[in-house]
Each structure stands twice: as structure tokens, then as C-alpha cells.
């Protein structure tokens, strides 16, 4: 199959992965272009160092390049690559003796002009970060996957390795934990 950027852009991730398994390097490059920026945002949550996050992304794609057949072509590629990236991060941080997880400030943007003028955004970010730090590792990961990356419950379930119902329950309880920390910022 001859590479064509038009063709490559119309192919689904799973189709590109099947081609990458067959040795089509352009298909791998297309997957890298699609996912590296998204994964960087996800992986950056594991560390506060951009260069380290970039290294984790490179290692994730290196694993993919070395063993493309590890991908089950019946699964969704996006869920699988996020799972691999998360595992790379956890393993690297564990091996380095680092247990910091998701300590970057969570950016909060609002489209409510009136609310924005009344709230000290810096203070909100600080409060949100403090509240975020009260969550356990799994809650922080679920929070990022849902609210930062806007993944579906099913995708989060597959990435984190817990049932969908548990993801929903986790989100309910983590939001309940965050609410008291942020009550002064409630918009009425």
C-alpha cells in the first residue's frame, strides 16, 4: 500500500495499527502524530517535568514500535495506548523511587464572564490544587482522564482497569471530596 496523507488521515487508528504491525512505518508515524500531543498532556500529569513527560511518551511509542503485535486488533487503540503510557509512567516513577503523582496545578477555565470577574482565578487554582492533592492516586488518575482528557467512562474503565460502575462511583465520591474545598467559588 502506497502512503498517501489523504488515505492515512481517513484510516481509523485500529486500521493504522494493523498496517504498523505489518511493517508500514508511515502508519506508525500517523499514529504518533495523532497521539503524541494527547499523551503528552496525560503523561505530564504524572510528573512536573516536561522533559521527563516527553521521555515517557518516547518510551511508550518505542514499546509500540518494538512489539506492535502486542496490540489486540479487536480492542480500541486509544484505550490501549493510554494504558501503555500510564504503565510506562508508573513503572518509571516507581523505579526511580518517585511517588509523586499528578501534582501539576489543574487549569480551570470558564466561559462565564460574570463569574470570572468575581473570582480570583489564581486563588481558585490554588484551592483546586490543594483539594486535588487530597485525592488518592486512582482518584487523581480518573479525574484527569475524565475532566482533562474528556474520555468516556468505558475508556477510563479500560485504562484504569476497573469496571465502568466503579469509575462512576469513583467520580461521584471524588467530586464529593472536592466540593467542600471549593464551596466559596460556587456560582449561583
Could you give the angle at which helices 153-160 and 164-182 cross, rounded to 10 degrees?
100
Q: Give CATH 1.10.1740.10 domain extents, the chain.
A: 5-95
- What's 158's DSSP letter? H
The reported pLDDT for the residue numbered 75 is 82
Q: Give CATH 1.10.10.10 domain extents, the chain.
A: 113-185
Buried b (16+ CB within 10 A) or exposed e, 85-95: bbebbeebbee
Distance CA 171, CA 85 (A): 22
The reported pLDDT for the residue numbered 172 is 83
The reported pLDDT for the residue numbered 143 is 85
Rounded alpha-carbon distances, angstroms, from residue 88 to 26, 79, 184: 24, 14, 38
Rounded alpha-carbon distances, angstroms, from residue 64 to 7, 61, 161: 22, 5, 20
Q: Taking CA 64 as the corner, what is the angle to CA 148 and CA 143, rounded to the nearest 5 degrees?
A: 15
pLDDT tens, residue order, the chain (188 aa):
444 556 667 788 888 888 888 888 888 888 888 989 988 888 887 777 888 888 888 888 888 888 888 888 778 888 889 888 888 888 877 765 533 333 333 333 334 444 444 556 677 778 878 888 888 888 888 888 888 888 888 888 888 898 988 888 888 888 888 888 777 766 55
Give the three cell numbers for residue 43: 503523561
Instruction: Assign domain 5-95 to its CATH architecture.
Output: Orthogonal Bundle (1.10)
Instruction: Assign domain 113-185 to its CATH architecture.
Output: Orthogonal Bundle (1.10)
- H-type alpha helices, the chain: 5-10, 13-21, 25-44, 50-66, 77-95, 113-118, 121-133, 137-143, 153-160, 164-182
Amino acid at each position: 500500500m502506497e502512503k498517501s496523507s489523504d488515505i492515512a488521515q481517513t484510516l481509523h487508528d485500529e486500521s493504522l495499527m494493523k498496517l504498523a504491525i505489518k511493517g508500514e512505518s508511515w502508519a506508525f508515524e500517523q499514529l504518533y502524530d495523532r497521539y503524541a500531543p494527547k499523551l503528552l498532556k496525560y503523561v505530564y500529569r504524572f510528573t512536573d517535568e516536561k522533559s521527563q513527560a516527553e521521555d515517557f511518551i518516547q518510551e511508550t511509542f518505542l514499546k509500540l514500535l518494538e512489539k506492535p503485535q502486542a496490540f489486540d486488533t479487536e480492542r480500541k487503540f486509544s484505550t490501549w495506548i493510554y494504558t501503555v503510557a500510564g504503565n510506562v509512567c508508573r513503572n518509571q516513577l516507581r523505579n526511580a523511587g518517585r511517588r509523586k503523582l499528578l501534582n501539576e496545578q489543574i487549569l480551570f477555565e470558564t466561559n462565564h464572564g460574570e463569574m470570572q470577574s468575581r473570582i480570583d482565578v489564581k486563588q481558585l487554582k490554588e484551592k483546586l490544587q490543594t483539594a486535588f492533592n487530597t485525592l488518592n492516586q486512582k482518584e487523581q488518575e480518573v479525574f484527569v482522564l475524565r475532566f482533562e482528557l474528556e474520555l468516556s467512562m468505558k475508556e477510563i474503565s479500560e485504562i484504569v482497569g476497573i469496571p465502568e460502575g466503579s469509575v462512576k462511583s469513583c467520580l461521584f465520591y471524588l467530586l464529593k471530596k472536592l466540593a467542600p474545598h471549593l464551596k466559596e467559588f460556587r456560582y449561583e
